[in-house]
Amino acid sequence: MSGKERRQRPGGPDVLVIDDEEDIRELLEMTLIRMGLGADSVGTVAEARALLEKNSYRLCLTDMRLPDGDGLELVRYINEHCADLPVAVITAYGSMENAVVALKAGAFDYLAKPVSLEQLRALVKSVFRLPGGEAEGEKDASAFLIGESNAMGQVRQLIGKLARSQAPVYISGESGSGKERAARAVHGLGPRAQGQFVAVNCGAIPENLMESEFFGYRKGAFTGADSDHDGFFQAADGGTLFLDEVADLPLSMQVKLLRVIQEKRVRRIGETDERAVDVRIVSATHQNLRNLVEAGAFRQDLFYRLNVIELKMPALRERREDIPMLAEALLARLAGQSGVALPRLSTQAAEALSGYGFPGNVRELENTLERALALSGGEIIHVEDLALEPILGQEPPTANSREEATRSGLQDYLDGLERQAIVDALEQTEGNRTAAARLLKVTFRSLRYRMERLGMKD
């Protein structure tokens, strides 16, 4: 069959395939036809560019090495001239660096040779479920991330682009800045929205349980394995796996995670066969991964696999204009959960919130409002109900020194009660913070924030 021969349905070709190996073109075309898709196939960059100028495609599959150029050249050309066309690269086994470079250049995803038809079908299905235009994505992103500041506008714009890709995303930012919400937006606005979003706190899993929790196990694989168990990767198959606080992964687990990300296959403990998994990886941490790589605490090769595209979440103090809108939305949710009437913030309380530095970011704002809701007991939340702590180098938002002294005394008292409750819970659970959080009826992340705020060490 000639490399230029077309196989397409009456409506025109859906996919453009570029590979200089005829048998691979044949394999890809036949697979696409069985999926009900038409295809054009060529063997050179020049032929591909000529077809791109004449036709509109819904997906492009290109090899990285071609006689008259490389796939990276095509990725850049398509991004410049056919911005709405997803392009996936085909790379030789063991040449993952090329795939990462292509993803950074704007490729949608990659396939490794020898091409797995199972992975090809999963990739194609995800492309043909892509959402509409960018404007739609930006509109929907508001459901995940609240705020109209320039900083949040830029975040939403980038999320709209990331949602259309399959590339791994690394979300950086301070604790409480909304990294998980951003991850949910990337998932919810993309082709995997109907799949599972599995969030994993890497710092909350004991090291001896990590492999079984991530990859699953077979019945009888070890003492206590009384039934088959799927891991996080199997649970997220067809969806997104969010690795929160990924910097907390031990080096031994980093090696295993790297292999699964590269090969897109998982083997449960106690089994000999591997299973293909179709999972998009989104990771986050409040730590500086680059510094950890330099210190030898985080693998450089894993860092480059995870950090294909970085999304930086701004601190709340960098978008103070969003605080009133955030406070309103958080209060409405907290009041609804508590079954009480929605109170309003006094003018002084609203000004105090907008002027406060919030070292704990949105999570601290939420905790502050939750406490104020309990303390106010009325229709209006006053500035003294907020009990904002002074921040080093920043004047606290007080009306006069008498109010400041009163509030500081109250805060010390409340902090003492909170600290003792946490200590008691940790003692009862023998230091298990996950169990302690459950005992205190708060989330693990909320407990961790409270311990950090109170200066409590592990």
Q: Residue range 414-429: average pLDDT?
A: 79
Q: What per-residue confidence (pLDDT) applies to 257?
A: 95
Residue 445's pLDDT is what?
Answer: 74
pLDDT of residue 335: 85
Average pLDDT over residues 387-399: 55
Residue bearing the bigger pLDDT, 405 or 190: 190
Q: Return mean pLDDT, the chain.
A: 83
**pTM for this structure?**
0.67
The pLDDT tens digits for 154-168 are 998 889 888 888 889
pLDDT of residue 289: 92
Mean pLDDT of 316-344: 88
Q: Give 397's pLDDT tier (boundaries 50, 70, 90).
A: very low
Can 134-312 and 320-453 be said to share one CATH topology?
no
pLDDT band for position 266 (50/70/90)?
very high
Confidence of residue 12 (pLDDT cuts 50, 70, 90): low
The predicted model gives 331-338 an average pLDDT of 85
Whether 285 shows a pLDDT value over 70: the answer reads: yes
Q: Indicate the range of 35-39, 144-148, 317-321, 392-396 predicted with least confidence.
A: 392-396
- Output the pLDDT for position 142: 53
29 pLDDT above the threshold of 80? yes
Domain boundaries, the chain: 6-119, 134-312, 320-453
353 pLDDT band, cuts 50/70/90, is very high
Q: What is the pLDDT of residue 3?
A: 40
Q: What is the pLDDT of residue 6?
A: 41
Average confidence (pLDDT) over 280-286: 94
CATH class of 320-453: mainly alpha
The answer to whether residue 446 scores a pLDDT higher than 50 is yes
With bands split at pLDDT 50, 70 and 90, how would you rate the model's confidence at 390?
low
pLDDT tens figures, 75-97: 989 988 887 788 989 887 556 67
Question: Would you identify the CATH topology of the domain 6-119?
Answer: Rossmann fold (3.40.50)
SS (H, E, C) the chain: CCCCCEECCCCCCCEEEECCCHHHHHHHHHHHHHCCCCEEEECCHHHHHHHHHHCCCCEEEEECEECCEEHHHHHHHHHHHCCCCCEEEEECCCCHHHHHHHHHHCCCEEEECCCCHHHHHHHHHHHCCCCCCHHHHHHHHCCCCCCCCHHHHHHHHHHHHHCCCCCCEEEECCCCCCHHHHHHHHHHCCCCCCCCEEEEEHHHCCHHHHHHHHHCECCCCCCCCCCCECCHHHHCCCCEEEEECHHHCCHHHHHHHHHHHHHCEECCECCCCCEECCCEEEEEECCCHHHHHHCCCCCHHHHHHHCCEEEECCCHHHHHHHHHHHHHHHHHHHHHHHCCCCCEECHHHHHHHHHCCCCCHHHHHHHHHHHHHHHHCCCEECHHHHCCCCECCECCCCCCHHHHHHHHHHHHHHHHHHHHHHHHHHHHCCCCHHHHHHHHCCCHHHHHHHHHHCCCCC
**231 or 446: which carries more pLDDT confidence?**
231
- In CATH, what number does 134-312 get? 3.40.50.300
